[in-house]
A and B are shown apart, each in its own frame.
Chain A
């Protein structure tokens, strides 16, 4: 019983992490209809920035986290303004090729700069180990992830639902032409959203070094996970991807624990079944553009 609860807890932490990593992609892919397979590269960038700051320059972990966000967002906005925006109107094939190219470049570049082995971020002692609550083992680090990601999710939902920017974004997504007709600067809204999504990915990358492992092949290894979150979750709100991430996280952890030999088999099967059952995602709108 307790092992089930521990697994559930780990799964939730994992799922929350996936959500932070992938929710930027939910915006670009789901809302802006841009297939960005290079999303993991931004996460990796954030992770490596955090690693360098903490391990080499001795920054405290919690001070490095915001910087992981900022640096990934900065890279995101530069790339969006220089490269990505030319491709919004192109075919999906072009977008796929372009972002695969970017991914390959990022993998080789990080390999060149930092070496190909897995890196670890030195965690403060307060985050290490675990404690028991009613016999359920709770990892401190995972608890922190749940807290941070939970707050982020609530914050995002509030921003989207309550603020002026949120309503602009929703308008731009629903109908870019009508939105720009109303005086909304659609490219600017998209650029900002893209950068913010990249920043979240960077933050997620920094947080995930401990759990998912951080090495130059991160963007390729986890690309499928991000895509699963978005396609399964749909894109009509952030609740869909959120629930999909939790489902994926819990499913993956449980799958690895209870049927370790089947490995990643469980989630791929889950994804294919869900996509066959509902091609537009579990919580998606029916009319895909």
Chain B
């Protein structure tokens, strides 16, 4: 067997759907029917999951450390808000796509700044862009509502048929559908040759360039795509909560997002989804213990995770499930988190 077909074989086998994945999505869908009183928090989790998936694309697959991912979230949020408020695009799904595209354009424009320089410069530039946008949103308060944010957004029915209800049921299933579709696309992308080349770049950009991968173009492409995803997440935020305020750009949002991904693990797409659930649960827990100072505990979680080591932690977490899986389905079926240091 030649080397290239061997690679293709493994890539294809990895790309195949597992039973576990189907079960995961069925459980998520079932949650929608099982907890009809919790639509708001579940929608929130879905949004966060989509946002985290966006960061996973750049961090987990391309190895770009971004501290300003909230920039695209915020742009998507404001774009969706303005589209609905000024009645430019009334239909939510179309508005969602448009908002995503706006964020995507920004992502494309800023990707040229981000691919320059090493980790540190990237950190700075991404952080700087998010802060810049926050300052801009505050400055042009006639457009963005300044510190008050956009208020009085009224969402039209989806496809002109399904109206948003006050319990958030529509919002939940709408968000779930969007998340699932985008997940399918992301899954396709990361298992494609393009996705494989991204991993090569992450592992060693120099070597990747030496075997003929156009490193910069690939990074620009994935960064732009991730910006689209983040923009959609932001737009979902505005559409399901009917507000958009300055804090969509906040540094805390980007930092929390990092934590979500760290909890869930990077580089296998489900990290963001799992992390979002765990993060929100942690946040709920901490804010019931100490309403005002939950940030302390979030910080402590981050510190502890890093000190223990992310990989070791995931091994511990997966130890018990894998023991069970091994008994039922044999050694080959164990779940491993394919994580290398970003």
Identify the A interface with B (CB < 8 A): 29, 35, 83, 86-87, 90-94, 96-98, 100-109, 111-112, 220, 223-224, 227-228, 231, 261-265, 268-269, 271-272, 275-276, 279-280, 288
Contacts and interface: CB of A to CB of B under 8 A. Distances in A.
Given A35-B120, A92-B120, A263-B138, A275 B132 contact: no
B214 interface: no
A112 B292 CA distance: 9
A105 B120 contact: no
B307 interface: yes
B139 A263 contact: yes
30 contacts: A35-B119, A35-B120, A90-B306, A90-B341, A92-B120, A93-B65, A94-B306, A97-B258, A97-B259, A100-B258, A100-B302, A101-B300, A101-B302, A101-B306, A102-B299, A103-B299, A104-B296, A104-B298, A105-B300, A106-B299, A107-B299, A112-B296, A224-B127, A264-B135, A265-B136, A268-B132, A271-B128, A272-B129, A275-B117, A280-B117
Which of B116, B120, B300, B342 lies at the interface centre, i.e. has the most chain A CB atoms within 10 A of its CB? B120
B124 A231 contact: yes
B67 interface: yes
B235 interface: no
Given A263-B138, A268-B132, A288-B118, A97 B125 contact: no
Nearest to A109: B296
Given A94-B341, A276-B116, A108 B128 contact: no
B223 to A, nearest CB: 16
Contacts of A276: 113, 116
Contact of A104 (B123, B139, B299, B342): B299
Closest 10 pairs (CB-CB, A-B): A101-B302, A104-B299, A108-B296, A279-B117, A105-B299, A101-B303, A98-B306, A101-B299, A268-B132, A92-B119
A272 B59 CA distance: 21
A268 B131 contact: yes
B262 interface: yes
A188 to B, nearest CB: 22
B127 A35 contact: no
Given A83-B307, A104-B302, 18 more contacts: A90-B306, A91-B342, A104-B295, A105-B296, A107-B296, A108-B295, A109-B296, A227-B124, A265-B132, A265-B136, A265-B139, A268-B132, A275-B125, A279-B116, A279-B117, A280-B117, A288-B117, A288-B118
B251 interface: yes
Nearest to B310: A94
Contact of A224 (B65, B131, B294, B306): B131
A275 to B, nearest CB: 6
Interface of B: 59, 65, 67, 113, 116-121, 123-125, 127-129, 131-132, 135-136, 138-139, 251-252, 255, 258-259, 262, 292-296, 298-303, 305-307, 310, 341-342
B4 to A, nearest CB: 31
B259 A262 contact: no
Given A107-B295, A280-B117, A272 B306 contact: no
A269 B251 contact: no
Given A92-B65, A268-B135, A279 B121 contact: yes
Contacts of A109: 296
Given A101-B300, A224-B128, A96 B65 contact: yes
Contacts of B139: 261-263, 265
Given A87-B306, A102-B299, A265-B136, A228 B124 contact: yes
Contacts of B303: 83, 98, 101-102, 105
Contacts of A261: 139
Given A29-B120, A265-B139, A272 B132 contact: yes
Contacts of A100: 255, 258, 299, 302
Contacts of A105: 295-296, 299-300, 303
A124 B33 CA distance: 66
A85 B39 CA distance: 45
B218 to A, nearest CB: 19
A278 to B, nearest CB: 9
B123 A35 contact: yes
Contacts of B298: 101, 104
A263 B302 contact: no
A217 to B, nearest CB: 10
B120 A231 contact: yes
A96 B259 CA distance: 11
A89 to B, nearest CB: 11
B259 A108 contact: no
Which of A227, A265, A279 lies at the interface centre, i.e. has the most chain B CB atoms within 10 A of its CB? A279
Given A91-B342, A100-B255, A275 B306 contact: no
A241 to B, nearest CB: 14
Contacts of B294: 108
Nearest to A269: B132
Which of A100, A220, A263, A264 lies at the interface centre, i.e. has the most chain B CB atoms within 10 A of its CB? A100
Given A101-B300, A101-B303, A103-B299, A268 B128 contact: yes
Nearest to B299: A104
A182 B45 CA distance: 55
Nearest to B118: A288
A110 B242 CA distance: 34
A275 B255 contact: no
A155 to B, nearest CB: 28
Nearest to A92: B119
A82 B284 CA distance: 30
